[in-house]
Amino acid sequence: MIKENNQSTETGNVPDLERKAAMALLAQATAPEIAAFWAGWDDKPDVETLRGPETGLVMLRGRIGGGGAPFNLGEATVTRATVRLGNGSVGHAYALGRHREKVRLAAVFDALWQQPDCRDAVEKAVLAPIAERLEQQRALKHAQTAATKVDFFTMVRGDD
């Protein structure tokens, strides 16, 4: 995980960048993947749903050439959820798409990750496998793209 920022979140002890990285990985988990992580979680806490899971739309903005005036590109479906564990830890999750249970479980893992005694377990059992799968997908895509690369070269003629 990223350990560059020593600022704290509202909880007072969790560095912002580490939590953002964890939440980004949870958002990229597949529904079957996160359900399997939850099924394999030994000490399941009591979970109270505070908000959602609910689905809505967000507006995507774009710029032409990175410097032009912003424009509305389109909308994307997003699902969000907020949960509270039995010990009072609150977790949030947002993800593209409509899979409500995936987002609820991501919020549960976010709340577990915020607990110092559970953080290592969440990182090893949940976040590391997600990161590994994403890296494998990135490497495969890179290899497929590299296979289509064309190297252009210029021949210099001996005519002066």
* Residue-wise DSSP of 122-149: HIIIIIHHHHHHHHHHHHHHHHHHHTT-
- Residue 21 sits in which domain range? 16-142
| pLDDT tier for residue 63 given thresholds of 50, 70 and 90 | confident
- Whether 159 is in a domain gets the answer no
How many domains in the chain? 1
Cα-Cα-Cα-Cα dihedral sign, residues 16, 19, 21, 24: negative
- Whether 8 is in a domain gets the answer no
Say which residue, 95 or 12, is predicted with more confidence. 95
- Whether 130 is in a domain gets the answer yes
- Calculate the alpha carbon distances from 94 to 28, 40, 101 in Å: 10, 23, 12
pLDDT in tens, 65-108: 777 888 999 999 999 999 999 898 999 999 999 999 999 999 99
Say which residue, 12 or 104, is predicted with more confidence. 104
For 100-128, what is the mean pLDDT? Answer: 92
- Whether 154 is in a domain gets the answer no
- Whether 137 is in a domain gets the answer yes
- Whether 158 is in a domain gets the answer no
